[in-house]
């Protein structure tokens, strides 16, 4: 059973703070993804990674960066949090580039005040 | 550019009634299409993919390349089908990326 875990379910940060969101998967998946989920906007891809130390920008990378030092862990970093980054953040992983199913974590609801 | 359109943000039906969640896509090649579902307080999960041609929880979806559609259907809706549904596309030849629609919230009333 694939398990994708995220470090926090709820997080409250102040404007300008540096924020780290952590994601860990336990199934040796190659690909990992970060999305934000907003009502009426659906899921939007922020960044993804297909290998350790490799990353690709998604559709909305501005204001975010990522880190993948180990295969099982993918971190999303908000260098200077802003109120428009208040959102639900979802992490996902998939086995390989030909395995389309993505497995999602429970999400982190981030509020920036 | 790849795009997935779900024209209905909200859809409400009565238990036992047929339900159809619409999905249209824009892509020049032959994509892979999926439906993902998120039940209340649960994580997003794959419901079905067109390539497998299977029925999951009574739901089916047929890829219509002429109309570029992948509508999700169920003949008799159940209250437990109430959830958020997302249609997603993966470009031809496989890709790490999925392009998601904005989602349709389905409510099945008793």
- What stretches in chain B show pLDDT beneath 70? 92-96
Residue with the bigger pLDDT between A73 and A98: it is A73
Residue with the bigger pLDDT between A102 and A18: it is A18
Above pLDDT 70, what percent of chain A? Answer: 95
Q: Measure CB to CB from residue B43 to each of A45, A101, A106 and give the nearest one.
A: A106
For residues A83 and A113, is the Cβ–Cβ distance under 8 A? yes
Residues B52-68: tens digit of each pLDDT: 777 889 999 988 888 99
Mean pLDDT computed over every residue of chain A = 93
Mean pLDDT computed over every residue of chain B = 90
Residues in chain A within 8 Å Cβ distance of B101: 42
Distance between CA atoms of A9 and B84, rounded to whole angstroms?
Answer: 19
CB distance from B84 to chain A under 8 Å?
A: no
For residues A88 and A37, is the Cβ–Cβ distance under 8 A? yes
Q: How far is CA A39 from CA A9, A43, A108, B101, in A?
A: 18, 9, 15, 12
């Amino acid at each position: 059973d694939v398990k994708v875990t995220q470090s926090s379910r709820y997080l409250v940060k102040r404007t300008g703070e540096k924020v780290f969101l952590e994601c860990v998967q336990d199934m040796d998946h190659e690909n990992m993804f970060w999305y934000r989920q907003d009502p009426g906007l659906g899921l939007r891809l922020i960044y993804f990674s297909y290998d350790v130390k490799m990353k690709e920008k998604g559709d909305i990378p501005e204001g975010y960066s990522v880190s993948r030092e180990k295969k099982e862990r993918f971190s999303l970093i908000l260098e200077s949090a802003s109120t428009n980054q208040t959102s639900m953040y979802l992490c996902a992983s998939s086995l390989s580039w030909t395995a389309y199913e993505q497995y999602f974590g429970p999400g982190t609801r981030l509020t920036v005040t | 550019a790849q795009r997935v359109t779900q024209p209905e943000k909200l859809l409400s039906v009565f238990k036992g009634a047929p339900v159809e969640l619409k999905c249209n896509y824009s892509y020049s090649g032959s994509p892979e299409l999926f439906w993902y579902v998120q039940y209340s307080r649960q994580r997003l999960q794959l419901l079905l993919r067109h390539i497998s041609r299977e029925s999951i929880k009574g739901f089916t979806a047929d890829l219509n390349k002429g109309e570029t559609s992948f509508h999700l259907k169920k003949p008799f809706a159940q209250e437990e089908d109430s959830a958020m549904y997302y249609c997603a596309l993966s470009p031809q030849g496989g890709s790490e990326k999925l392009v998601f629609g904005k989602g349709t919230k389905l409510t099945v009333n008793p």
